[in-house]
Amino acid sequence: MVNQSRSNKHWESLMNVPLFQGELVHLIAPEPQLAAGLHSRWMRDSEFVRLLDTDPARLFSIDKNKEWFEKNLVEEQKDDELFLLIRTLEEERTIGLIGLDGIRWTHGDAWIGIGLGEREYWGKGYGTDAMRILLCYAFEELNLHRLSLSVFEYNPRAIRSYEKVGFIIEGSARKFLNRDGQRYDMLFMGILREEWERR
Amino acid sequence: MEWKTPLFEGQMIYLASIKPEKDAELESRWTHDAEYQRMLGTDRVCPLSPAQIRKKYTEIEKEMDEKGNQFYFTIRRSPQEINTDSTTEGEDGAGDLLGFIKLDWIEWSQGVSSVSLGIGDPAERGKGFGSDALRLLLRYAFGELNLYRLGAVIPEYNQVALRLFEKSGFKVEARQREALHRAGLRWDSIRLGLLREEWETR
């Protein structure tokens, strides 16, 4: 039981950290309608899609996307994943998505993924800021031991950003990707809790 | 390799479909062996009843049929390998079930997939059944499904599997540090890969 007389300023300052706010962006829970509208627009940008995922680029209606978000974010919310949107602090503009998936609670490992759908925010530190927020959440709130991610070799901007927040390259899946007939590696990166704490 | 060469017949084993009723009894017993489950990967070790295993089989067959993104085979002892005193239960028996082998996480657009396998009875391990089955599955993946690359993810503590995959041509490509927490210790998760041209030139 908490003894109120023992509460002190240090404890309070630790508990009241704004977990979902960084210096440029904050992370918000997605409303299916908003997420579906943005997603439909971002998925038309095939360069974005080819940086984001290995799935083939394809187009769905806003209604279909909304149905998907309602099912996956609201009705069948899973214990092993988390999906948030990235919003700028200055203009309150939603510029991208970020999340964890495949959280393996017994091992303390999870995959992290991020994408900025709004191109004018690429290369300006917005993604790095969002990653720092989610890393803090993963290690301090979820108490995970490590985080993993995969990134394509033709995406040096993302690799630099991940290195900036402390990820190191742990290897690759050689020639995993086939883009217009050319093969590219998929890199694996990881960060351990102690590396994040030492940052 | 000639196109007529049988896809599913190995030297000591053959690949077959699931026989839900009989296989479930045996596989349920295997899941009560923590070592078997720990060697397979990262899933939480938990004993499963035959009914739970049958449900898993139903889901596997449903996914194979509807999504077409995985191929699951049982590994069974070839008839000539079965001794007269073995536990075979007639021609449709489950006494010949040794384990499973599968391709999953298939991404057709990239031409990639993952391989995993398990031999259930500790007494049957180390006899070359896994190696025989993996040889068939590689031929199936590259020669029948026309995939370009196969991956495998193996816990650092499963040295037997690492040796088997390396012997079959896979190369270690990545080491995810401390990704596993087993028996109070942290272990790396090892990722291996095999490309079509590497398999063809062996």
Q: Which residue of B has its CA nearest to A147?
A: B179
pLDDT recorded at residue A39:
95
Mean pLDDT of A129-134: 98
Between the alpha carbon of residue A134 and those of residues A82, A124, A128, A180, A194, the distances in Å are: 10, 18, 10, 33, 16
* B148–chain A Cβ distance below 8 A for any pair: yes
Q: Test A188 with B191 for CB contact under 8 angstroms.
A: yes
pLDDT recorded at residue A179:
98
Q: Which residue of A has its CA nearest to B45?
A: A106
Alpha carbons A51 and A159: distance in angstroms, whole number: 11
Residue B72, classified by CB atoms within 10 Å of its CB into exposed (0-12), middle (13-18) or buried (19+), is middle
List the single residue in A170, A178, A188 with the smallest CB-CB distance to B110: A178
pLDDT recorded at residue B43:
87
Contacts of B115 in chain A (CB under 8 A): none
Mutate: best of B38, B46, B176, partner A, most A CBs <10 A: B176
pLDDT recorded at residue B79:
87
* A170–chain B Cβ distance below 8 A for any pair: yes
Q: Has A162 been annotated as catalytic?
A: yes
pLDDT in tens, A139-172: 999 999 999 999 999 999 999 999 999 999 999 9
Query: What residue type is assigned to position B149 of the chain?
Result: R
User: Are the C-beta atoms of B120 and B26 separated by less than 8 Å?
Assistant: yes
Q: Which residue has the tokens 């479930």?
A: B24
Contacts of A108 in chain B (CB under 8 A): 181
User: Are the C-beta atoms of B152 and B117 separated by less than 8 Å?
Assistant: no
Question: What is the percent of chain A with per-residue pLDDT over 70, rounded to a whole number?
Answer: 95
Alpha carbons A86 and A94: distance in angstroms, whole number: 6
> Integer distance in angstroms from the first to the last C-alpha of chain B?
12
Q: Which residue of A has its CA nearest to B181?
A: A107
Residue B104, classified by CB atoms within 10 Å of its CB into exposed (0-12), middle (13-18) or buried (19+), is middle
User: Are the C-beta atoms of A169 and A176 separated by less than 8 Å?
Assistant: no
pLDDT in tens, A25-56: 999 999 999 999 999 999 999 999 999 999 99
Alpha carbons B133 and A7: distance in angstroms, whole number: 63
Alpha carbons B64 and B104: distance in angstroms, whole number: 9
Q: Test B179 with A175 for CB contact under 8 angstroms.
A: no
Q: Which residue has the tokens 């007494």?
A: B123
The tokens describing A176, both together, are 């995993």
Q: Which residues, at least 6 apart from B145, have a Cβ–Cβ distance to it below 8 Å?
A: B71, B103, B106, B113
User: Are the C-beta atoms of B28 and B97 separated by less than 8 Å?
Assistant: no
Residue A9 has pLDDT above 80, yes or no: no
Most confident stretch, A3-7, A73-77, A153-157: A153-157
Q: Which residue of B has its CA nearest to A105?
A: B44
Q: Which of A121, A126, A137, A162 is catalytic?
A: A162
Alpha carbons B99 and B36: distance in angstroms, whole number: 11
Alpha carbons B185 and B190: distance in angstroms, whole number: 16
Contacts of B107 in chain A (CB under 8 A): 54-55
Contacts of B42 in chain A (CB under 8 A): 104, 106-107, 109
The tokens describing A139, both together, are 């290690």
pLDDT recorded at residue B89:
46
Contacts of B112 in chain A (CB under 8 A): 173, 176
* A37–chain B Cβ distance below 8 A for any pair: no
Q: Test A146 with B193 for CB contact under 8 angstroms.
A: no
Per-residue pLDDT of chain B (202 residues; tens, 9 = 90+): 789 999 999 999 999 999 999 999 999 999 999 899 999 888 889 999 999 999 999 999 999 999 999 999 999 999 876 555 545 444 445 569 999 999 999 999 999 999 999 999 999 999 999 999 999 999 999 999 999 999 999 999 999 999 999 999 999 999 999 999 999 999 999 999 999 999 999 8
* B89–chain A Cβ distance below 8 A for any pair: no
Q: Give ipTM to 2 decimals.
A: 0.89
